[in-house]
């Protein structure tokens, strides 16, 4: 449904959400996967690239926004609040499956549904949002950090004791996904020798780390809500939170690596720390000092993130199967800018292309949400 954009929104939240959505669209849609600059690629296994930040940053912001959205239910575990959370969780999950199905139909036609991937980015967001929201509704908020820490410790110990910090068929994440979903319904990742195995980077078990991720964002939302009107204490507390989480993640990686594909506990700590620092910086720039003219482009993505993400996924498939993608890259961008430059040019062009209808919604102050 749609509703008019409400006044009184914290603009920095919308801008940061928009930065992450625009970033997700760009890195998911290069001109050619053969020619992508290193910072715009995910880490092969352990490690962290700028591209590895966009998804966790969005998840952190989802936790911040979740705090404000649950306030209207007074954080009470009621029939109304639980129904709203479960309904939204189911709809986001089904939209994610629908996007997978849309691409599957163009690749395989009406058949081979045994190869349809079930999990994905939106499915991960849905599960993490649903579980974290139920925790936020049923647990006193002074225990949120304790729960997040407990989940991270438990998850790290589980992966360590099962020797699951490597990409293999014996990884417990892969084992559980194969048992519950079936191997043919999983993403296939590549080993160093070129062999492909069923391993889903948005697996069910690794959702434990994502739930903790959202809870840390939820706690940041609590900091913002409890801050004074002049904002300075909010910035200070967010910087302190960010610094602690970031350094904890960086130091602990020597015992357990930072890894996006298994959403390791150190990955959660490091990316939540960076996200908290960025949010504090944006609040200082935009909401305190009023430097916001530059942010219009990202605000457009930030007020309708789900719609624009889905729009980009559908448009990407249509432009690919119609040959428009290849024609524009090969005829316009690559001859002028070369393989790598042309690939990047398409990615930027595609982001702007999706921004245009988003700007129309922005001008009409329409907020599309579930």
For residues 155 and 86, what is the distance between their CA atoms, to the nearest angstrom? 24
In 143-288 the beta strands, taken as DSSP E runs, fall at: 188-190, 196-198
Could you count the other beta carbons within 10 Å of the beta carbon of residue 230? 9
For residue 91, what pLDDT is reported?
97
Residue 7 backbone phi and psi in degrees, to 5: -80, 165
Q: What pLDDT score does 2 carry?
A: 36
Q: What distance in Å separates the CA atoms of residue 140 and residue 69, rounded to the nearest whole number? A: 16
The structure tokens 């809500």 sit at: 225
How far is 330 from 192, CA to CA, in rounded Å? Answer: 30
CA neighbor of 18 nearest in space, from 69, 63, 54: 54
The C-alpha atoms of residue 368 and residue 4 are separated, in whole angstroms, by: 9
pLDDT below 50 — which residues of the chain? 1-7
| Token pair belonging to 117 | 């991937």
Say how far apart CA 195 and CA 189 lie, in whole Å. Answer: 8
User: Which pLDDT belongs to residue 53?
Assistant: 97
pLDDT of residue 5: 33
Structure tokens at 57: 């940053």
Structural tokens at position 29: 């849609």
Token readout for 224 is: 């913002």
Rounded-to-integer distance, Cα 60 and Cα 224, Å: 14
């Amino acid at each position: 449904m749609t509703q008019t954009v409400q006044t009184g929104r914290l603009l920095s939240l919308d801008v940061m959400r928009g930065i992450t959505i625009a970033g997700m669209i760009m890195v998911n849609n290069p001109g050619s996967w053969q020619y992508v600059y290193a910072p715009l690629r995910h880490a092969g296994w352990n490690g962290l690239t700028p591209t590895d930040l966009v998804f966790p940053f969005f998840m952190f912001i989802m936790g911040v926004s979740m705090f404000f959205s649950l306030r209207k239910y007074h954080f009470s575990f009621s029939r109304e609040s639980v129904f709203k959370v479960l309904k939204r969780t189911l709809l986001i999950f089904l939209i994610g499956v629908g996007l997978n199905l849309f691409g599957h139909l163009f690749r395989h036609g009406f058949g081979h549904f045994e190869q349809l991937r079930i999990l994905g980015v939106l499915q991960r967001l849905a599960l993490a949002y649903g579980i974290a929201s139920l925790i936020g509704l049923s647990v006193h908020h002074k225990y949120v950090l304790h729960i997040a820490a407990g989940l991270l410790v438990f998850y790290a110990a589980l992966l360590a004791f099962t020797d699951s910090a490597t990409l293999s068929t014996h990884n417990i994440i892969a084992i559980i996904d194969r048992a519950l979903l079936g191997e043919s319904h999983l993403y296939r990742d590549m080993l160093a020798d070129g062999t492909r195995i069923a391993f889903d980077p948005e697996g069910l078990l690794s959702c434990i780390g994502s739930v903790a991720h959202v809870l840390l964002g939820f706690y940041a939302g609590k900091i913002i809500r409890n801050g004074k009107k002049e904002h300075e204490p909010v910035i200070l507390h967010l910087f302190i939170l960010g610094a602690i989480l970031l350094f904890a993640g960086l130091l602990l990686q020597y015992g357990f690596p930072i890894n996006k594909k298994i959403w390791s506990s150190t990955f959660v700590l490091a990316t939540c720390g960076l996200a908290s620092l960025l949010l504090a910086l944006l609040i200082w720039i935009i909401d305190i000092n009023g430097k916001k003219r530059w942010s219009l482009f990202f605000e457009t993505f930030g007020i309708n993130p789900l719609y624009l993400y889905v729009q980009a996924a559908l448009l990407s498939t249509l432009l690919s199967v119609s040959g428009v993608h290849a024609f524009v890259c090969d005829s316009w961008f690559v001859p002028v800018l070369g393989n790598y430059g042309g690939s990047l040019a398409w990615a930027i062009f595609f982001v702007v292309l999706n921004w245009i209808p988003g700007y129309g919604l922005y001008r009409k102050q329409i907020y599309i949400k579930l």
